[in-house]
């Protein structure tokens, strides 16, 4: 059985003395920085001076430096900028500033696993990946709980990399939620597969295909939207709270029977074969190479595909219907406890 690491397995002093530099102050960076500071760690922020990130970090009470200055001052550097920026940020701002035994941390292994970053062998390289968005990571920490995290040790030059990774997990609430050890390869490949085959690519294509099937058969677009997209949240929430069994507990007998006999007709061996193709592209590095080259070319195919995705009829129908849903409008929940 997989071991789940808790607060008792982590020693916060493993990150002391010295600064933790958070490079990148987006959703994850902001949550990590505030959680670690509230846990008693010394945190500084590296951000482009004059930008929105610098202003937000200063408003939050942090000392802000350029990424290179922050990396030089710190003994633990958390690189939390977007994946495609890692290579330039590491090579231009971080690599030369790290001393032997210092630590480089990422929250997603893409850039290291696919060779965009080739860390020096005299530094520790670890991964700490909370399994939730930054606002949830912060919110759960503030109420004394935590979001489960993955951690991995890629290089252990100091002999203390595991202690430092677990200490970071603890400071960010990860060991309160439960931390699981992995590898950069496993974290990267499963994360990409989940996004592409199930969570984003698979789910959005399934929704769109269901909507189109109903509309093509003559049903009203609004009814198709409710049945294939709107009500999906109910099912996902039930599965999130208690797995497939909880979903079965709360749906009707008719829905349950339809699930059991028709689900395998839609998601079948052919679907799984296509999923294996997606996974193979990830494992061989083909997806990464294609995405890197797409970025280098200025993302023309990405922009065209995204534009086509957002111009689907289901998006137009949904926008019209959601405008009538008062609870989805900005400020609708203001003042609620």
Q: Which residues are catalytic, by number?
A: 108
Measured between alpha carbons, how far is 204 from 211 in angstroms, rounded to an integer?
11
Measured between alpha carbons, how far is 319 from 171 in angstroms, rounded to an integer?
40
First-last CA distance in the chain: 39
Helices and strands in the chain, H and E counts? 17, 8
Angle at 60 between CA 54 and CA 63, to 5 degrees: 55
Per DSSP, the three-state class of 182 is: strand
Q: Are 196 and 286 in contact (CB under 8 A)?
A: no
* Of 1, 190, 31, 34, residue with least CA distance to 109: 190
Q: Are 133 and 190 in contact (CB under 8 A)?
A: no
Q: List the 74-79 sheet strands across, edge first.
A: 64-65, 43-46, 19-23, 74-79, 103-106, 124-130, 149-155, 179-182
Backbone angles phi, psi at 85, to 5 degrees: -95, -10
Per DSSP, the three-state class of 303 is: helix
| Contacts of residue 141, Cβ cutoff 8 Å, sequence gap at least 6 | 31, 35, 38, 147, 172, 173, 176
In DSSP terms, 294 is beta-bridged to: none
């Amino acid at each position: 059985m997989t071991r789940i690491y808790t607060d008792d397995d982590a020693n916060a002093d493993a990150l002391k003395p010295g600064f933790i530099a958070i490079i990148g102050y987006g959703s994850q960076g902001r949550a990590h920085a505030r959680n670690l500071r509230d846990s008693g760690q010394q945190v500084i922020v590296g951000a482009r001076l004059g930008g929105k990130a610098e202003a937000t970090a200063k408003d939050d009470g942090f000392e802000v430096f350029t990424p290179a200055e922050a990396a030089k001052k710190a003994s633990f550097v958390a690189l939390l900028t977007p994946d495609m920026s890692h290579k330039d940020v590491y090579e231009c701002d971080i690599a030369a500033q790290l001393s032997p035994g210092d630590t480089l941390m990422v929250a997603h292994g893409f850039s290291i696993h696919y060779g965009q970053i080739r860390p020096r062998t005299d530094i520790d390289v670890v991964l700490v990946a909370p399994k939730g968005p930054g606002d949830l990571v912060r919110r759960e920490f503030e109420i004394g709980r935590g979001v489960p995290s993955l951690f991995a040790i890629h290089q252990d030059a100091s002999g203390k990399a595991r202690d430092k990774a677990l200490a970071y997990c603890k400071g960010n609430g990860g060991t309160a939620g439960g931390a699981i050890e992995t590898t950069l390869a496993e974290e990267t490949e499963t994360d990409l597969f989940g996004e592409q085959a199930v969570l984003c690519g698979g789910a959005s294509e399934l929704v769109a295909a269901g909507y189109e099937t109903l509309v093509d058969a003559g049903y009203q677009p609004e009814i198709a939207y409710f049945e294939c997209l709107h009500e999906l949240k109910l099912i996902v929430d039930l599965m999130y709270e208690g797995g497939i069994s909880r979903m079965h507990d709360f749906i009707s007998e008719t829905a349950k029977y339809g699930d059991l006999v028709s689900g395998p007709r839609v998601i079948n061996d052919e679907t799984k074969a296509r999923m294996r193709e997606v996974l193979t592209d990830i494992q061989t590095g083909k997806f990464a190479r294609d995405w890197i080259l797409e970025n280098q070319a200025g993302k023309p195919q990405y922009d065209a595909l995204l534009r086509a995705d957002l111009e689907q009829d289901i998006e137009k129908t949904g926008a019209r219907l959601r405008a009538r849903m008062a609870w989805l409008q900005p400020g609708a929940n203001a003042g609620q406890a």
